Each structure stands twice: as C-alpha cells, then as structure tokens.
C-alpha cells in the first residue's frame, strides 16, 4: 500500500474514490462476472470475493478497529489488484450496501469504491469502476446517490424551479461526483446529446455527472445557481459546480466556460476546466475517510511477499506477547514469595500471630512527694 499517511482534511493524491447506486437485480453477480473476465484476460493480477462479516473478522494487515468494519448493512466486499504504467500496483476495495432502511422500492444497492496506487494517481490510468463493473450502458451501476442523476449520460434539469434548486444543492452536498451544468443554446442533435464525460480520460470519465439546461431554462438555472452557489451559467456555456464544503482554490470565474458547442466536437476548454477542478485538493468527508481506512486497514488480497512479511510480523508479535507474559509471571512469583516471607516473620513461623506485650502500669507516686505537694499549698495562700 502507499506509505503516505491518511489525512483528515483532503483526499490523498494516490487515491480514487467513488460512490453510486446499482439499480439492477443482481449487482454482486455483475461484479463477479466482470472480475472473472478481467482476470482471465490478464488485466487483473487477482481478486477476492468476501462476506462482510468474514472480511471484518479476518482483517490481517492491522488489528481490527471500528473503521475496518464494513458495517451491518454491508452485503459483499470485493477486492482487486492490478498494475498500471507497467510496475505501479493499484489496490481497490468495493463494498455493496443494502438501501438505507429500504424506504423506497427500486432504490438500488449503494456501492462504495476506494482505490489506491503506489504513486500519485494519473487520469489516463484505467478507471477503477470498470475493474469491478462492466463498462456497458445496459448495466445500471452508475446512478448517483442523489435520485434521478446518472453518470455516463446527460441529465436534464427539472422544469420546476424548487426541484431544480434542490437537485443541484443535493448534488453539491451529498454526491462524490464532479458536477457540470451545460446550457443548451439550442436543442442539439444526436451528436450534441453525447455527454461531455465521453471525451475525458478513463479515470476521470466515471467521476463526472453532466446536467443539461434546456434553451428555455437559461434564466431559471442561472438564477438558481447564483443564489445557491454564487456562480453564473452563461447562455450556451457551462460551469463546474463547487463542492460543499468548497474546495480551496475554487474560483467561480475560473471554472466557467462562456461557450460550449454541442455539435459532437471535443469541448476542449470545458474539458480543461474539469481536469483542473479535479486536481484541486478535495475535502475528505467522514464517509470517504472510513472507506479509505477500510481499504488500508482491512486489506486481505496479499501477494506471496506480503504474506511472508505478515507471517514474520505475527511471529515477532507473538514472541513479544510471550515475553511480556513471562515477565508478568516472574514479577507475580517474586511478590508472592515476599508476602510469604513477611507473614512468616510476623507469625514466628507457626502461622499464628503473636499477642502484643501487656502495657505496664506507671508506678504510684511516693508518699514523700504527696506530703511535699500538700505543704506547698499552705505556703501559697493564693492556691
């Protein structure tokens, strides 16, 4: 694993994080099929399919703690290891969860994916999402946790003003995706409907959600974003929305593009702004920090070399524990022997405590002293 320490404020530059929902009937089966196919093709070095209870119980790299426990609602834990740029190892862990309280039918299965490389992450590397999920539009694994929002496609904003504001607000506060709003100056043809994310590098492609504002929503969308986030949506342009809390270095003007041609051509300026936004230091939320802790502290898919190192560490750990127990036993025995010696000394060796010597009464005063005191009273009339 990467040696850099976990930060409590920003996402490490070695890490790729993703969270979304799978709306299909068999999410875990879709993952298994993809992992098996990619290992057979030599894309993956190896993978594991774990029961969450077993995964929490058999944590091997570090002692189990609260962060390493996937939680009671976890359904399955998958781990995969592959290499990029010839020699850089990537380790990734995907956990699927039951819908929270199963409040809605069709809410889907939430999944959380954390991947970490041995050096800084590069956008040109393969997407960790497609190491677990099939890169097919027929498998609905890319739905955001915010309802009615999906990656790998365009999402038209609601017609109702309140619903539009609520959706964008939820996206900036709850979602792990990068959110981009594009205004259609005119209704585009089929080529113009192609999402901007299709032009992005693989590792960034599945971290971007594109919202579309129709031609007649220009003023409504612009007003809503100005009020909620302090950003403006130019007519026929686009803007990358800030996160909440806002990432350091975000500037609304910097991440606003005045003109985007939706004719199927590559929108170079907008793509550059998205890449620049992704390079900002991203706040590490509590949920993301737990996912990263589970990856680092609850990793099971060891290489033979790592298994040897782990075995040696366990031998050292057990030897230290045995040495500590031996020292405790010796100290206890010395204390018991000292107590027995003190008891023998106090009892004279027969086990019965000796009685204390009786107190001797003070001798009575002599008759001469009594007479002296009596004559003294007559000499001193004042007494």
Contact status, residue 252 vs residue 222, Cβ threshold 8 Å: no
Question: 145 with 215, same domain?
Answer: yes
Residue 376, classified by CB atoms within 10 Å of its CB into exposed (0-12), middle (13-18) or buried (19+), is exposed
Question: 96 with 196, same domain?
Answer: yes
Question: How far apart (Å, rounded) are the C-alpha atoms in residues 156 and 164?
Answer: 10
**Sequence-separated (6 or more) residues with CB below 8 Å from residue 257:** 234, 237, 238, 239, 267, 269, 270, 273
Task: Provide the pLDDT confidence category of residue 331 given band limits of 50, 70 and 90.
Answer: confident
Contact status, residue 68 vs residue 59, Cβ threshold 8 Å: yes
Question: 114 with 259, same domain?
Answer: yes
Beta pairing, strands 109-117 & 256-257: unpaired
pLDDT value for 301? 94
Token pair listed for 22:
């799978």
Q: Residue 43: inside a domain, yes or no?
A: yes
- Averaged over 279-304, what is the pLDDT? 92
pLDDT value for 362? 55
From 280, 301, 322, give the residue that closes a domain. 301
Task: Provide the pLDDT confidence category of residue 64 given band limits of 50, 70 and 90.
Answer: very low
| Whether the predicted pLDDT of 101 surpasses 50 | yes
| Whether the predicted pLDDT of 66 surpasses 50 | no
**Model pLDDT for residues 115-146, shown as the tens digit of each residue:** 999 999 999 999 999 999 999 989 999 999 99
Q: Residue holding tokens 């009937």?
A: 25
Task: Provide the pLDDT confidence category of residue 383 given band limits of 50, 70 and 90.
Answer: very low
Give the DSSP letter string of 264-288.
SS--HHHHHHHHHHHTSPPB--HHH
Question: 212 with 276, same domain?
Answer: yes
Report which DSSP code applies to 261.
Answer: -
Question: 321 with 211, same domain?
Answer: no
Contact status, residue 165 vs residue 227, Cβ threshold 8 Å: yes
Question: 218 with 228, same domain?
Answer: yes
Domain tally for the chain?
Answer: 2
- The residue count of the chain comes to 383
Question: How far apart (Å, rounded) are the C-alpha atoms in residues 188 and 309?
Answer: 58
Domain that holds residue 250: 15-301
**Model pLDDT for residues 232-276, shown as the tens digit of each residue:** 999 999 999 999 888 888 999 999 999 999 999 999 999 999 999
Question: 252 with 208, same domain?
Answer: yes
pLDDT value for 9? 80
**pLDDT > 90: what percent of the chain?**
64
Question: How far apart (Å, rounded) are the C-alpha atoms in residues 57 and 41?
Answer: 32
Question: How far apart (Å, rounded) are the C-alpha atoms in residues 228 and 165?
Answer: 7
Token pair listed for 212:
């579309």
């Amino acid at each position: 694993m990467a040696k850099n320490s976990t930060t409590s404020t920003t996402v490490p530059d070695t890490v790729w994080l993703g969270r979304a929902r799978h709306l299909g009937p068999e999410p875990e089966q879709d993952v298994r099929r993809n992992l098996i196919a990619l290992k057979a093709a030599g894309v993956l070095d190896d993978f594991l399919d774990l029961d969450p209870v077993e995964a929490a119980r058999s944590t091997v790299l570090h002692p189990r703690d609260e962060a390493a426990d996937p939680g009671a609602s976890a359904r399955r834990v998958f781990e995969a290891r592959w290499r990029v740029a010839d020699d850089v190892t990537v380790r990734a862990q995907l956990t699927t969860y039951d819908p929270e309280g199963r409040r809605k039918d069709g809410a889907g299965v939430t999944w959380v994916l954390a991947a970490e490389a041995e050096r800084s992450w590069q956008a040109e590397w393969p997407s960790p999402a497609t190491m677990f999920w099939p890169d097919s539009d027929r498998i609905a694994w890319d739905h955001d946790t915010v309802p009615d929002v999906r990656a790998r496609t365009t999402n038209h904003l609601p017609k109702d003003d309140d619903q539009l504001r609520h959706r964008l607000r939820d996206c900036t506060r709850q979602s792990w995706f990068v959110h981009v709003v594009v205004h259609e100056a005119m209704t585009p043809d089929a080529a113009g409907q192609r999402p901007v994310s299709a032009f992005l590098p693989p590792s960034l492609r599945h971290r971007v959600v594109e919202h579309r504002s129709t031609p007649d929503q220009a003023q409504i969308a612009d007003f809503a974003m100005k009020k909620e986030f302090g950003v403006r949506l130019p007519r026929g342009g686009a803007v990358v929305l800030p996160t909440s809390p806002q990432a350091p270095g975000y500037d609304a003007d910097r991440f606003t593009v005045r003109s985007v041609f939706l004719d199927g051509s590559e929108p170079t300026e907008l793509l550059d702004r998205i890449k620049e936004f992704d390079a900002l230091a991203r706040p590490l939320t509590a949920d993301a920090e737990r996912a990263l802790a589970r990856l680092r502290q609850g990793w099971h898919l060891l290489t033979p070399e790592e298994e040897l190192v782990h075995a040696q560490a366990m031998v050292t750990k057990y030897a230290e524990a045995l040495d500590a127990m031996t020292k405790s036993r010796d100290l206890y025995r010395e204390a018991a022997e000292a107590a027995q010696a003190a008891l023998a000394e106090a009892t004279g060796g027969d086990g019965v405590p000796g009685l204390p010597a009786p107190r001797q009464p003070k001798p009575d005063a002599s008759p001469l002293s009594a007479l002296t005191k009596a004559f003294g009273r007559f000499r001193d009339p004042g007494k």
